[in-house]
Amino acid sequence: MASPARPLLEVSHLARSFGGVRAVVDCTFAVPEGAAVGLIGPNGAGKSTVIELISGFLAPNAGKIIFGGTEIQGKAAYRVAGLGLIRTFQTPREWGGLTVMDNMLLAANPTGRTAAWRALFTRRRLKAAERDDRVRARLLLDRFGLLRLRDEMAGSLSGGQKRLLEFARISMRAPRMVLLDEPCAGVNPVLQRNIEEAIVGLQRDGITVLLIEHNLPFVERACSNVYVMAQGETIANGSLAELRLIPAVVDAYLGEVQARV
């Protein structure tokens, strides 16, 4: 039997308060390297705050966050991103006044170009790095169905197309892990399927995924393991089939979802 993948991200007893409001009380979970793991729960459970804490946009009041063996709690967001851990937002944040292609090129990993500046024959090597970035950007835009829109302004795309551009930019950056905050919000069912395929593509590229999403059929297809949050705490984990049999999970969240359906 193959041994389970080691955790790439470990969150232990995370807590964060805003004045008298305890947004995250005791959140603990792990994401194995190469996996897609879901984080679900009712509105106000603290899921998005957890994403803010992991990605460095907020500092926790207590707890540990270990990414790739390094403690990252309290580190600035740009330092966390520099380690290869990036996040998306509930509303896509493209550079609306730039073309789709320019958005892709800005997301490129700068390593090759930085090295080129320090090398002999800098101009030639820099041009080669930029040419390679453009070729890679075209391939990724084609993979995500956006190549025909490469010269369009990113701000003119539909909500679903902006989401796909977000995934293309993630792939262009090639991080170790990505935190996806409600990628299906406001997206039509056809593009939701494209987003699902994009998540599979990220895993195929070796990128680990933590997914926050209210669309439970989507989560069930995308994630083999799911954690449930309620009132700032992680209360259970397992497959969605297993979670449906846990009364506390049904009371906290799944019963509410079934009632809406």
Q: How many Å apart are CA 240 and CA 225, to the nearest integer? A: 8
What is the predicted pLDDT for the residue at 103? 92
Element (H, E) at 31: strand 21-32
**β-strand 85-87 against 177-181: which pairing, if any?**
parallel
| pLDDT over 50 (residue 42) | yes
What confidence category does residue 171 fall into, taking pLDDT thresholds of 50, 70 and 90?
confident
Q: Is 136 exposed, middle or buried (0-12, 13-18, 19+ CB in 10 A)?
A: middle
Cα distances from 224 to residues 75, 128, 198, in angstroms, run 30, 41, 16
**Is the separation of the CB atoms in 253 and 230 below 8 Å?**
yes
* The two structure tokens encoding residue 258: 């079934």
What is the predicted pLDDT for the residue at 260? 45
What confidence category does residue 261 fall into, taking pLDDT thresholds of 50, 70 and 90?
very low
Domains of the chain as residue ranges with CATH: 7-94+174-260 (3.40.50.300), 100-156 (no CATH)
Q: How many Å apart are CA 153 and CA 102, to the nearest integer? A: 9
What confidence category does residue 126 fall into, taking pLDDT thresholds of 50, 70 and 90?
low
- Buried b / exposed e across 39-74, counting CB within 10 Å, b at 16+? bbbbeebbbbbbbbbbbbebebeebebbbbeeebbe
Least confident stretch, 75-79, 84-88, 91-95? 91-95
**pTM for the whole structure:** 0.83
Least confident stretch, 105-109, 128-132, 188-192? 128-132
What is the predicted pLDDT for the residue at 258? 46
What is the predicted pLDDT for the residue at 174? 83
pLDDT tens by residue, 200-249: 888 888 899 999 988 898 899 889 899 999 999 999 999 999 999 998 89
